[in-house]
């Protein structure tokens, strides 16, 4: 996705671009137990952050030097999306929502931040208001969203993890770009193929006479 704007600077926010993993449990992400156990204690290293659609098609990616933080997601959305996304499903949406709304209250006014069903069970101290499953229970349309599409796509990236680890950054970016381009083409092909099959084997309607009552 092309860059549509620069990331705004917020001089009045003291720790605007600070790494999340550098803070304590209470100051960076509230009382989210999942964040504390996964990031603060393990101090994860960098990697690749991808943005996925519900069909596991990659919108784009970028390399992160250290553990993924809220600034990575916020910067990706604010610089690449001309219009704000309707819904952001993220494993740390509980902390991403206030982070984004503090910096872009108008831009993110109508954006929903939800935790996918796969990761929600680990957020034992977060309010159910951040869970996608809470809203799916009353809105059946939301249950059709593949909230694990990101996990599916990230699992596919594991195939090239070892190869990328031996490359320089420039070569790694090119390699990842080609891999994800092929990944997207394959996902589109499979989806079109499934749609064509469903149309081909759709049951025919039984004929009715003009005088028959329905």
Candidates 46, 26, 50, 45; CA nearest to 36 is 26
d(CA 43, CA 37): 9
Beta pairing partners, 61: 50
Write the CB contacts of 22 (distance below 8 Å, at least 6 apart in sequence).
28
d(CA 43, CA 61): 22
Q: What is the pTM of this model?
A: 0.78
Task: Please list the pLDDT of the chain residue by residue as tens digits (214 residues).
Answer: 889 999 999 988 887 877 665 444 444 445 676 654 555 445 555 688 899 999 899 999 988 877 678 898 999 999 999 999 999 999 888 889 999 999 999 999 999 999 888 888 888 888 888 899 899 889 888 888 888 888 888 889 999 988 998 999 899 999 999 999 999 999 999 888 777 766 666 665 655 555 545 4
């Amino acid at each position: 996705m092309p860059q549509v704007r620069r990331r705004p600077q917020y001089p009045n926010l003291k720790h605007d671009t600070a790494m999340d993993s550098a803070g304590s449990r209470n100051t960076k992400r509230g009382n989210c137990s999942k964040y504390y156990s996964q990031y603060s204690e393990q101090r994860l290293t960098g990697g690749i952050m991808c943005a996925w659609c519900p069909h596991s098609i990659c919108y784009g990616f970028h390399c992160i030097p250290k553990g993924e933080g809220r600034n990575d997601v916020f910067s990706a959305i604010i610089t690449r999306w001309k219009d704000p996304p309707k819904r952001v499903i993220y494993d740390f949406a509980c902390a991403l929502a206030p982070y984004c709304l503090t910096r872009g209250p108008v831009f993110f006014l109508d954006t929903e931040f939800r935790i996918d069903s796969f990761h929600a069970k680990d957020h034992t101290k977060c309010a159910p208001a951040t869970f996608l499953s809470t809203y799916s229970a009353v809105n059946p349309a939301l249950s059709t969203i593949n909230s694990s599409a990101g996990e599916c796509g990230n699992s596919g990236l594991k195939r090239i993890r070892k190869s990328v680890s031996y490359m320089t950054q420039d070569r790694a970016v090119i390699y990842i770009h080609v891999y994800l381009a092929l990944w997207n083409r394959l996902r589109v092909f499979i989806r079109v193929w499934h749609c064509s099959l469903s149309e081909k084997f759709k049951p025919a309607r039984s004929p009715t006479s003009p005088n028959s009552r329905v």
